[in-house]
Amino acid sequence: MGKADLHLHTTASDGASTPADLVRLAGERHLNTISITDHDTIKGYLDAAGIANEVGVKLLPGVEVTTLHEKNEIHLLAYCFDEDHSELNNTLAGQRQARVNRMQQILDQLKKRSGFEFSLDEVISEAKSRNVGRPHLAQLMVKKKIVASFTEAFIRYLGRSVLDEIVPEFVQLEEMIRIVKRAGGAAILAHPGRLYDNKEIEAYIELGLDGLECIHPAHNFERQKELTKLAENRQLLITGGSDYHGTGKEYDPYFGILTLSEKHVNRLERLSQNRKRLKSEMKQ
Ligand code: AMP
Ligand code: ZN
Ligand code: FE
Ligand code: FE
């Protein structure tokens, strides 16, 4: 049975590899199936489709959506959706703008708390044409020698405490789950063991999740086992990936090492196929 990695970032969001380079690297690391799951954009996935065919790596449609639930930011992975679905694409366009507005709020907080003045324009140009996020601001802080490293920027200035002070305009978790399903895709809670306790995870499951990302570098083996058990008990899909963001970035060593068995990919694809079939039957 082949190996899969269903959580990867490219230069379309905050990853360091271009979509084409990432697909080539996946081939070199003997992955059979991958999904590019950039933050709130499918551009990386769309750009990689041609090269994936050439290299012989199976590429599933994917995206990691930043959603809100009771003011907390929750990352929702979506897979195997119809990539031309207009509601999904309109929502992602809204998310792109919400990211820009959120960055302005983060900059305002930074000024208030620490006196640092960054303009929105300079952070956006650091992000180039990508979907802007905290990693681009962290990069800028390193360049300006405010911090010695990317990680220091997160620890000192860009962590949860700053997010707790702002009100982003991201889509609600419940709403996004419904949109993903209407687009024929599967909705999976990303790295659940990283941020939430089991009670919170149970509450999110009630909102209609299709699965849990049990395999993720932020989960130790015990947590992975616990989450897998929970997913099995609740008849949910199990997914996983390395959350690779490029050489030298967070989780770099796990790409090609931390993998998902393809039997789980088959289940994921089957769910999506059934969903799409039902949708087309209802139209007739
Ligand atoms: P954002 O999209 O603005 O919420 O930024 C989320 C991204 O920031 C994650 O996908 C990681 O790439 C990165 N990140 C989050 N926390 C840390 C951390 N403590 N150290 C390094 N990178 C981080
Ligand atoms: Zn990221
Ligand atoms: Fe995430
Ligand atoms: Fe991620």
Do residues 247 and 254 lie in contact, with contact meaning Cβ atoms separated by under 8 Å?
no
CA 51 to chain centre: 21
CA 181 to chain centre: 17
DSSP 278: H
Burial of 170 (0-12, 13-18, 19+ CB in 10 A): buried
Please write the tens of the pLDDT for every residue from 254-281. 999 999 999 999 999 999 999 999 988 9
DSSP 154: I
Burial of 212 (0-12, 13-18, 19+ CB in 10 A): buried
Q: Please work out whether the CB of residue 151 comes within 6 Å of at least one atom of ligand 1.
A: yes
Q: Please work out whether the CB of residue 246 comes within 6 Å of at least one atom of ligand 1.
A: no
pTM: 0.96
Residue nearest to atom 16 of ligand 1 (CA): 154
Nearest ligand, CA 13: 2
Please write the tens of the pLDDT for every residue from 51-96. 999 999 999 999 999 999 998 999 999 999 999 999 999 999 999 9
Of residues 195 and 19, the one with the higher pLDDT is 19
Please write the tens of the pLDDT for every residue from 157-186. 999 999 999 999 999 999 999 999 999 999
Please write the tens of the pLDDT for every residue from 191-226. 998 778 889 999 999 999 999 999 999 999 999 999
Is the alpha carbon torsion for 265, 266, 269, 275 positive or negative?
Answer: negative
